[in-house]
Structure 1
Amino acid sequence: MTYHPKSEFIRVMMERGFLADCTDYQGLDEALNMGGVPGYIGFDATAKSLHVGSLIQIMTLRWLQKTGHKPITLMGGGTTKVGDPSFRADERPLLTPDQIDDNIAGIKQVFAKYIAYEDGPMPSSSEAVGRDNVALMLNNAEWLDSLNYLDFLRDIGRHFSVNRMLSFESVKSRLDREQSLSFLEFNYMILQAYDFMELNRRYGCLVQFGGSDQWGNIVNGIDLTRRVIDHEVYGLTTPLLTTSDGKKMGKTADGAIWLNADMRSPYEFWQFWRNTTDADVGRFLKLYTELPVDECDRLGALAGSEINEAKIRLANEVTTLCHGAEAAAAAEATAREVFEKGGIGDDLPTLTLSPDEVAGGISIVQLIVRSGLAKSGKDAKRLIAENGARLDDAPLTDAGTMIDAAALASPIKLSAGKKRHALVQLES
């Protein structure tokens, strides 16, 4: 793309690799150049934490605020009751209102680390935040829960063409595979469009951000806002990231890389970034840190053993943003202790057992599963059979090994491969 932006925000988006597409580059750029533009991203509350796959969206809002604009974080208290069908093979499980509220409480914790809200603490590097760009945290249940169905159909539903809705790739791909799409899910894009219009009407929100899979939903919102209240709004999408080896960002063999410390420890989070593939280092530095672009390029171009220092820099920068500088330093110290000295680090994920649990001995297979190094007993046995498991750095060859209280007189270290470790200790 040859467009040369005037606004700092669009320039950052382009230089750092955030930009997939925009509904009107020039119109949005000119609006941003005037300053103080409100923009939003919606986050449905399908789990108690967001994972690394959402971090590109969080960083988008952070850069929006750092360049003088107003981020709106929209919690999907209403839309989570429906479930976004975009590019899914099946319907999301329906959650109760209490589950949704619990999930929202968990998700909110992470945003305060990245974005400055009214009455909230100032995250790092947010010294430029003032009255015009302090962030809003909203919940779409505020307007969706009270909708009257018949009024909504007459006032909003009439602006949507079913023919056009069926042509969107997110719906079309589901139908082409002959997978069921419920009427409940089919309504999701209408509700998301309504959100955009309502945010524009209430807060002057001018732009919606989202992954490129949200393009159709965003365009619907732009059309609805123009048709119903005759306001011009914009959409900007970010790329759907995969790692260089084709894996979905934020998912690993042992599950999602959650952003909340109680669901994925800062050490494990740090390790995820430290284990980045060489080819992804430069790109991830631009997207997930605030290091200057030239420095990201320099670090990403390192080769041989030097690239490992770039990965440590990446892990430290990302972990500092998400969990704080102390957590990043502790994770690095633990990693160096474990990998360079072969010792036991203080910050490893730890399984603590009561004396009753080990009174008759506990199987090594169970310990591997409970410490999070394998998803199931079958996976743990396969790990042992393939010589991938170690006990205190010695190969584990017998899946029938039992561990008793005497063996836990001091903590033991379990390892799955070279990079994943956990401690098992007895309750004091």
Structure 2
Amino acid sequence: MFRPLSIFIGSRYTRAKRRNHFISFISLTSMIGLALGVLAMIVVLSVMNGFQQEMSARILGTVPHASISARQPLDDWQAVAGVARKHPEVLGAAPFAELEGMLSYRGAMQPIQLQGIEPALEAQVSSVGQHMVQGRLDDLQAGEYGVVIGEITARRFQLKVGDKLALIVPELSSVPGGISPRMQRLNVVGVFKVGAELDSSLALIHVADAAQIQRLAPGQVPSVRLRLKDLYQAPQLSAAIAGELGEGFSASDWTLTQGSLFSAMKMEKTMIGLLLLLIVAVAAFNIIATLIMVVADKGADIAILRTLGATPRQIMGIFMVQGSVIGLVGTSIGAVLGVLAALNVTQLVGWVERLSGQQVLSSDVYFVSNLPSQLQGTDVLLICGAALILSFLATLYPSWRAAGIQPAEALRYE
């Protein structure tokens, strides 16, 4: 089968055993460096994807994806929910109330964000019911002022189901200053553990009790909470639903409260990826060193090829093929090992924990007890593409030097 001269000779140079073993060692080092760089990038980015997915499932599964409210409390929240459910992207809708206050127990106080929910409908819009460690959401009954608190709050106050604590909320009044505190006794009926900051800042009560605390009329709710199929469409979709409902309705979404956290995680992933790319860049510099020494070692061969009619472009192609093969082999090995490691990193960490007797991620310190990993094909393609591009760029200068060798000068001392 016909093959171009550059590819034929370049591939032969790659397979041939060189007289200079140091050059062979540098070439092997370049392949190993590329493989390790690609392996590290795939594993680290997959682990970061896993943490981001875990955070999304825990935090964004608890806070509202979007909410629809009006200037006045909603008298008929079912009508608003009906308009929202007409969109196929909306998975669920439920009445929702939100207020801030202070929890007080035996002289200790803590700021808290209270969410008023309808326990029967909460499973449609939230996953907090899946993270209950004590009690159930159904234990929240209208008029009983029950509360479900986070695990950190329960541990801080040493609370358990059945204990009572006080809620202090600010209220507008006619007293000097315009604001007076209002107190409401709450009964602990459950404890949840999401595994994030929400365990210390969030508590749940029945939406009817929240409306009573806010002094709303019976049956009124402040807003309707939505759960969406695609979280990242929340700003556009919620604004569209508010527009359909007419003037006076407004929308809010998770990007207003949690957007900075996920933007920071995205930036962190980008910066770590760029830092790990330096490993690949170092391996690419090794390819430059390898090819420069090969060019010096093959000076006589280059001169003979030139006298036989090879053009500078063909000579340049020979060494570009050789360097590209080194990059291709190293990248392929790293990609295969990286994919295998990313798919099994959770099991590998578990095996290391059992072997050493030490827990890498303690659930008492971190919000997860295992190392999550999510392999994304786009990450693998970008990493392999960047490695191959750097490998190809590393061949340009040595190949240009090889193409500039003059036959007479190269053969003078042969």
Band of TM-score, shorter chain: under 0.3
User: What TM-score does the superposition give when structure 2 sets the normalisation length?
Assistant: 0.23
Q: Tell which has more relative contact order, 1 or 2 (C-alpha 8 A, sep 6+).
A: 2
User: What TM-score does the superposition give when structure 1 sets the normalisation length?
Assistant: 0.23
User: Considering only CA atoms, is the larger Rg found in Structure 1 or Structure 2?
Assistant: 2
- Between Structure 1 and Structure 2, the one with more strand by share is 2
